[in-house]
């Protein structure tokens, strides 16, 4: 487990959005200063939307920023379930390069994963930032229990992404996914989690306490993470 897991607690989601957007902006600026470019992975879902709205209002050299989703549902672009569609609507108008890791819906989710992995290999690694969400069931990115769980956690070190079929399928989005691998997540130069609600806070606390033996995917992902992890939480 990372030596440093730091919790940041806020009065409400708006205060959290301000703080997280500020931190991400600083990370992007530092990467551009150091290397002339930034590559970040952003979570889907509803929780980070206020963060992204605040971040998009920040004056940055957005043309030097590449954004990928931490995970994607295998659905057509433009579908309400598509994470990259949500992220793209916010950041493409700013000039950022937003990469769809699932450019079209396909039946073979493992092939979709191989295609996404090949695409991501061309980016600069490690990521400058990976921002994760956590589900009420303890999943993060699209690392869920199921037939592909062990592969997502323990696959080859050089693998960046893979196709995953959650078991059971989540009722709110009952489709196969492509997810960045654990290795791709934990090697990021900055690793952040943003969540709201008491239930998710308890899941994360329990997951961290259990470490590598955790029944929750987030616990397994964070076990033995070598870099500090910042967890941002609001009620």
Along the chain (235 residues), what's the average pLDDT of each consecutive run of 10 residues? 82 98 98 98 96 98 98 96 97 98 94 98 97 96 97 96 97 96 96 97 96 95 90 98
Specify the pLDDT at position 6: 94
The predicted structure's pLDDT at residue 192:
98
What local confidence, expressed as pLDDT, does residue 71 receive?
A: 98
Residue 3: the pLDDT is 57
- By CB atoms closer than 10 A (0-12, 13-18, 19+), residue 110 is middle
Tell if the pTM clears 0.85, that is, is over it. yes
Q: Give the Cβ contact number of residue 80 at 10 Å.
A: 9
Are the beta carbons of 131 and 48 closer than 8 angstroms? Answer: yes
């Amino acid at each position: 487990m990372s030596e440093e897991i730091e919790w940041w607690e806020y009065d409400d989601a708006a205060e959290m959005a301000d703080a997280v957007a500020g931190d991400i902006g600083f990370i992007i600026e530092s990467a551009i200063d150091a290397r002339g470019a930034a590559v970040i992975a952003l979570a889907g879902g509803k929780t980070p939307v206020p963060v992204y709205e605040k971040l998009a209002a920040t004056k940055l050299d957005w043309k030097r920023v590449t954004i990928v989703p931490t995970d994607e549902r295998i659905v057509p672009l433009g579908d309400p379930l598509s994470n990259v569609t949500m992220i793209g609507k916010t950041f493409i108008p700013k000039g950022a390069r937003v990469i769809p890791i699932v450019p079209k819906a396909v039946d073979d989710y493992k092939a979709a994963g191989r295609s996404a992995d090949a695409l991501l290999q061309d980016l600069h690694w490690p990521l400058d930032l990976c921002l994760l969400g956590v589900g009420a069931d303890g999943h993060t990115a699209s690392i869920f229990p199921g037939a592909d769980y062990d592969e997502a956690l323990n696959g080859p070190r050089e693998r960046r992404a893979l196709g995953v079929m959650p078991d059971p399928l989540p009722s709110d989005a009952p489709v196969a996914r492509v997810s960045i691998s654990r290795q791709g997540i934990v090697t990021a130069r900055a690793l952040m989690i943003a969540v709201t609600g008491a239930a998710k806070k308890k899941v994360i606390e329990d997951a961290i306490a259990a470490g590598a033996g955790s029944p929750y995917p987030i616990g397994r992902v964070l076990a033995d993470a070598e870099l500090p992890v910042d967890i941002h939480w609001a009620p």
